[in-house]
Every structure is written in structure tokens, then in C-alpha cells.
Homo-oligomer: A and B are copies of this chain.
């Protein structure tokens, strides 16, 4: 099954466009888990079980795992294995923000798609399409290209005008016109920029969007959803990480995460 089919099914089943970001910074994990064995994956499993009927995807950012070296990579693998085993209908997005030259990308593709068995990866566009074959030829996987990122300073390069048009729009156009030859590309656009989300939705009417940055990073749900969904009120994967997974730092963290996820799921659906 392709990522797109998987996404279509789970959006329908769970009636949700919410993606929960498993950015499980070891420093922020509740103490009773942090001091036990396998803290990151134990934490993730509880979050996953508490939210699996409320989400359309899980997103793991590799940085929070790599920070711990080998032990972190093991935690990430255990997390992906757990989702595959217990909730195989939920797609896993590896937020790795990679991109290297041709032969090197094979290593990253193996890590994401074979070792971790993720369904999708995020990539930097700076090296161009020519280097990305190792990812793009994996027809069943989804390739989310950074377009307009959620950080306050995203515009330094992304808003530079090329023939009167901001660079992020050129990226979106190139992805639609040339990179998407296997129909497996998507775009990353930050929720703090709803008018840019709206512009890119017009450039790419049917591409899946991964939209991080609601909540703590300042993105408003109503604007984000209205700007991001396609003509069918779908194809926007709206991510919240810290706001959900660290809703409480006590023993009730999973219950509180479920509460936050449910609130977000409903709020998102209100504006679809």
C-alpha cells in the first residue's frame, strides 16, 4: 500500500488530520519514565496507545533520538516497530530533513525506509531533484520537501525573489512540475505562515502538505486548516508535537496527551 492510500484510509477511519510529533526530548520526559529502562520508547508507546484513534500519522524527528547516539537510534527503531506492530494502519513520517549527493542518499533511504520502515521522510531542497532519486524512486513512500519552514527566520532564503517570485514558490512549482514524476511528493509548510500555505495550495492543489507549527510555534488552527486542506477538505497533515506529548510532566502524561489530541482533532475538523 502506498503512503497516500494509507493516509486516505486513516483520515477516514479516525476522522482526523492531526499528526502527533514524537519529539521525545529525553530531558522533558516525566521523571518516573526517564529514570527507567528504554525511556524514549516507553514514553512513546504510552503516547501512541493513548492517541492512536485520534491521529492520521505519527512524526518522529530524528534529532531527539540522535542526541543520545546509539541508544537513541535504538529507541527510534523500537518506536517505529511498535507502531508497525500495534497500529499498522497509521503512517510513520520520519522528520529527518536530509539530502546529500546521489550515491550518499542511498544510505539515508535505507535508514528511513528499510531499517526503520517509515512511510515518509522530509528532505531539504537545496541540492535539487538530481540528487534525490534514491528517495523518489520508492513509489510506496512519500517524500516531503521543505518548502516554507515554520521558523521565524524562514524567509532569509525562502522569501528571496527569483524573477519576482519567492524561492519557496519556485520550490513548490519545481516539485509539482518535475520532482513528482512518481506521484509521491509532498511539501512541508509551516503553520505560522497561513497566507503562504494558501498560495502553495494553489500551486499544488493535490499534493499532501505536512504542516508543523500549530500551538507553541504560533500557528492558528483555523487559518492553518482553511489554507492547507485540498478541495476535499483533506491532504493536510497538521502536526503538533510538544503541545500534545508534553501536556503534563506527571504520571498522567498519556491521559493529558489524549485530551490535547482530542481537542486538536475536533478543532481541526471544525474548519475542514
Residues of A within 8 A of B (CB): 23, 25, 61-70, 73-74, 77, 95, 97-102, 104-108, 110-111, 115-116, 124-131, 146, 149-158, 160-163, 167, 170-171, 174, 217
13 further interface pairs, Cβ-Cβ under 8 Å (given A101-B217, A128-B156) = A61-B100, A63-B100, A66-B110, A66-B111, A67-B110, A128-B153, A130-B152, A156-B174, A157-B167, A157-B171, A157-B174, A160-B162, A162-B162
Chain B's closest residue to A134 (CB) is B63
16 contacts between A and B (CB under 8 A): A61-B104, A63-B107, A64-B107, A67-B107, A101-B150, A102-B151, A125-B126, A126-B149, A126-B158, A128-B155, A128-B156, A128-B157, A130-B153, A131-B153, A157-B174, A160-B170
Chain B's closest residue to A68 (CB) is B115
Chain B's closest residue to A63 (CB) is B107
Assembly stoichiometry (copies):
2
Q: Which residues of B contact A64 (CB under 8 A)?
A: 104, 107
Q: Which residues of B contact A74 (CB under 8 A)?
A: 70
Contact in complex: A111, B146 (CB < 8 Å) = no
Q: Which residues of B contact A66 (CB under 8 A)?
A: 107-108, 110-111, 115
**Which listed residue, B107, B129, B217, touches A153 by the CB 8 Å rule?**
B129
What is the bound-complex CA distance between A77 and B72, given in angstroms?
Answer: 13
Chain B's closest residue to A102 (CB) is B151
What is the bound-complex CA distance between A111 and B111, given in angstroms?
Answer: 17
A174 to chain B, nearest CB (A): 7
Chain B's closest residue to A116 (CB) is B69
Q: Which residues of B contact A61 (CB under 8 A)?
A: 100, 104, 107
Contact in complex: A67, B100 (CB < 8 Å) = no
A128 to chain B, nearest CB (A): 3
Contact in complex: A106, B162 (CB < 8 Å) = no
What is the bound-complex CA distance between A246 and B217, given in angstroms?
Answer: 46
What is the bound-complex CA distance between A161 and B65, given in angstroms?
Answer: 38
Q: Which residues of B contact A163 (CB under 8 A)?
A: 161
Contact in complex: A154, B128 (CB < 8 Å) = yes
